[in-house]
């Protein structure tokens, strides 16, 4: 009886071992089947940059994918770099802190375009007079221009106007704006007698010490004042004190005026206290007699002695010039077309 029992025990132990082995195998299989996604029973092959890492059995057999620039518009959540846009991308707007460059709007079909540059006005005097401060009337023949500066008082004006009217002569009067403000009636008398009015600045300063803006104020100020008084000084201008240079002449030209100097200054403004007489004034004028002569005289009286030598000498001056075979002209003779 002892041997059969031992054989049965061995068989039972072998069966138990098989069962136990089966149980262990089942547990191992269960654990393997529940492993995390992305693991594989096969060893992972090395991947190149840009290869796909999608999970699943197909991942091991699919060819590696390569990356390409995206042409899709960025989503609202994606930041956009402020850089030059590549082809196919939407242009990137500049930061709001950068002001736009002002450019004129393009003309639309059938609509008005940008305003054209204004056409410059025609020159108010012949181009041959540009850059000059004229001392004679060119090509005028045997004529003389009598000119009278008004910057102080009007003491000599009644006698001057009376003489010119009696002799049938017209003259040119260079007026400052200040003189016009102080003598509006005198402007009317000059104009109503048929004489020419011209610009002598607003306040009679030396022009070479002024900048271009101040020159414009002087010239335009006098112009507006004279126009308001009923006369037009354009385009004749005389520098106060005769003080000028190339820059100031160019500035006056740019304002539409031709600069007119003189051939002879009678020096009547020096008065008797300065050693001048009516005879000396007339003699000086006749000594400079020539075709196109421009004579400088003054309306006001000498501030020291009150003399008005130019007004007093004027009848003799006109008679002697006429006797020499000369006539008289205003400075409008300068403005004949080229």
Residues annotated as part of the active site: 149, 298
- Provide CB contacts within 8 A for 51, sequence distance 6+: 64, 65
Q: Using an 8 Å Cβ cutoff, are 25 and 42 in contact?
A: no
Q: Using an 8 Å Cβ cutoff, are 126 and 253 in contact?
A: no
Would you give the DSSP letter of residue 112?
A: -
- Provide CB contacts within 8 A for 330, sequence distance 6+: 145, 170, 171, 172, 195, 196
Cα distance between residue 187 and residue 239, in whole Å: 20
- Provide CB contacts within 8 A for 156, sequence distance 6+: 298, 299, 300, 301, 308, 310, 311
Instruction: For residue 22, give Cα distances in angstroms to 26, 58, 93, 265.
Output: 6, 32, 71, 142
User: What H or E segment, with its residue span, contains residue 213?
Assistant: helix 212-228
Cα-trace Rg, the chain: 53
* Residue 42 β-bridge partners: none
Cα distance between residue 295 and residue 333, in whole Å: 14
Q: Two tokens at 21? A: 């082995």
Give the closest residue to 164 by CA, choosing from 32, 17, 315.
315
Q: Whose structure tokens read 């003259």?
A: 171
Cα distance between residue 334 and residue 169, in whole Å: 17
């Amino acid at each position: 009886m002892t041997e059969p029992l031992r054989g049965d025990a061995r068989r039972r132990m072998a069966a138990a071992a098989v069962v136990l082995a089966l149980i262990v195998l089942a547990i191992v299989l269960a654990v393997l089947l529940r492993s995390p996604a992305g693991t594989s029973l096969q060893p992972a092959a090395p991947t190149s940059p840009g290869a796909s890492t999608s999970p699943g059995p197909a991942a091991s057999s699919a060819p590696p994918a390569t990356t390409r620039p995206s042409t899709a518009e960025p989503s609202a959540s994606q930041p956009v770099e402020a850089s030059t846009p590549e082809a196919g991308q939407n242009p990137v707007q500049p930061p709001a802190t950068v002001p736009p460059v002002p450019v004129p709007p393009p003309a639309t079909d059938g609509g008005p375009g940008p305003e054209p540059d204004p056409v410059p006005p025609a020159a108010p005097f012949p181009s041959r007079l540009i850059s000059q401060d004229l001392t004679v009337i060119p090509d005028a023949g045997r004529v003389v221009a009598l000119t009278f500066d008004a910057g102080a008082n009007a003491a000599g004006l009644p006698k001057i106007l009376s003489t010119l009217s009696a002799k049938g002569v017209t003259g040119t009067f260079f007026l400052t704006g200040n003189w016009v403000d102080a003598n509006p009636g005198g402007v009317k008398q000059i104009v109503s007698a048929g004489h020419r009015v011209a610009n002598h600045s607003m306040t009679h300063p030396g022009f070479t010490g002024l900048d271009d803006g101040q020159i414009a104020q002087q010239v335009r100020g006098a112009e507006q004042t004279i126009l308001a008084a009923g006369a037009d000084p354009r385009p004749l201008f005389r520098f106060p004190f005769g003080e000028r240079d190339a820059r100031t002449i160019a500035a006056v030209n740019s304002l539409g005026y031709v600069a007119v100097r003189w051939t002879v200054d009678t020096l009547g403004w020096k008065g008797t206290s300065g050693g001048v007489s009516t005879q000396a004034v007339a003699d000086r004028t006749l000594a400079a007699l020539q075709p196109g002569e421009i004579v400088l005289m003054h309306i006001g009286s000498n501030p020291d002695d009150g003399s008005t030598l130019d007004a007093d000498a004027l009848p003799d001056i006109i008679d002697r010039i006429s006797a020499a075979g000369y006539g008289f002209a205003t400075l409008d003779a300068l403005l004949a077309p080229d």
